[in-house]
Amino acid sequence: MSPTVPQRLRSDAQENRDRIVEAARELFAESGLDVTIRQVARRAGVGPATLYRRFPSKQDLVLAAFRSELVACRTIVTEGAADTDPWRGLCAVIERITVLNARNQGFTDAFRAEHPGEADFVEHRRELVGELSVLARRAQSAGMLRADFALDDFDLILLAGRGLARAPIATRADAARRFAALTIEGLRAAPTNTPLPAPARLASTIADPTL
């Protein structure tokens, strides 16, 4: 057997797994955790047997889909923090996180309600908040982010954006981008900025694992 054949088989298997996890994320976001394995297999374009080889139980699939959600969030923040233009990076984080949460907030809430002990989000959140803090300071130093922005405002943006999950699926992403754009304009440093009220301490009240 050619050495390229096992490599191709492994590549095909990984592609199948990725399609299954992405299909599961989409369906759980659209319809909740009552989605069946067959529905996920159909959306992914694979047979149920293929899905079961990758995920022996529905619990395995739900957990894999949720972990994929966390990876997506981490990728957004890491890429934004690595941008040489801190304002551009910050804007990208706000928009992409807002769209991600709008699409999948229902799945996130359902997962946490039904599987409260499956994952520990403390370290995940601590690392991402640390990256966001550095990014925000860089944007302020560049004169682009208003000086009275506080890290707690990230939590305020997340909390305000949760309502987007109630919008129709077809318009949810567009609504999230619009909300993000309005939010970004409010954060932009300008001579006409008026002082903001004191920041609300919301971190302890928002159990949102996607940040």
Q: What is the pLDDT of residues 137-179, one digit of tens each?
A: 999 999 999 999 999 999 999 989 988 988 888 899 999 999 9
The CATH homologous superfamily for domain 65-205 is Tetracycline Repressor, domain 2 (1.10.357.10)
pLDDT value at 197 more than 60: yes
**Among 75-79, 103-107, 188-192, the least confident range:** 103-107
Tens-digit pLDDT profile for residues 22-32: 999 989 888 88
**Residue 130 CB: number of other CB atoms within 10 A?**
13
- Does residue 6 have a pLDDT over 80? no
Lowest mean pLDDT, pick from 5-9, 34-38, 47-51: 5-9
- What is the chain's Cα-based Rg? 20
Q: Are 89 and 135 in contact (CB under 8 A)?
A: yes
- For the chain, residues classed under CATH 1.10.357.10 are 65-205
Euclidean distance between CA atoms 211 and 208, whole angstroms: 6
Length of the chain: 211
Q: Which of 77, 81, 131 is nearest to 101 (CA)?
A: 77
Q: Give the class (CATH, top level) of 1-56.
A: mainly alpha
128 contact partners, CB below 8 Å, separation of at least 6: 73, 74, 77, 211
The CATH 1.10.10.60 domain(s) of the chain lie at: 1-56
User: Residue 195: which pLDDT band, with cuts at 50, 70 and 90?
Assistant: very high
